[in-house]
Amino acid sequence: MTLILVERLETVTGRLNSQPLWLVWVGLQMPSLAEIWQLYLRRFALEHWYRLVKQTLHWTVPKLSTKRTVRTMERFDAFTNLAIMVS
């Protein structure tokens, strides 16, 4: 397990531009920092979209009228969780 600290500095003053971001890499071989950043951006996009959809479309309280709709929602939920875990 590797702990990575990401800090964004202002170009002129060199002071912190935002709060630090802590990332954790768990795996046998750590990829380059550029690859880690791309993986983080992909995961952030998926998680942000999922949270937005739940809040905007009220998916936390779905109104499912048929068994087919329930199965579709279960599959979609399983797919998004898998996509978040893989990325």
Other C-beta atoms within 10 Å of 86: how many? 10
SS (H, E, C) 32-51: CHHHHHHHHHHHHHHHHHHH
Q: How confident is the model at residue 4 (pLDDT cuts 50, 70, 90)?
A: confident
User: Given a cut of 80, is residue 70 above it in pLDDT?
Assistant: no
User: Residue 7 is which amino acid?
Assistant: E
pTM > 0.85: yes or no: no
pLDDT band at 60; cut points 50, 70, 90: low
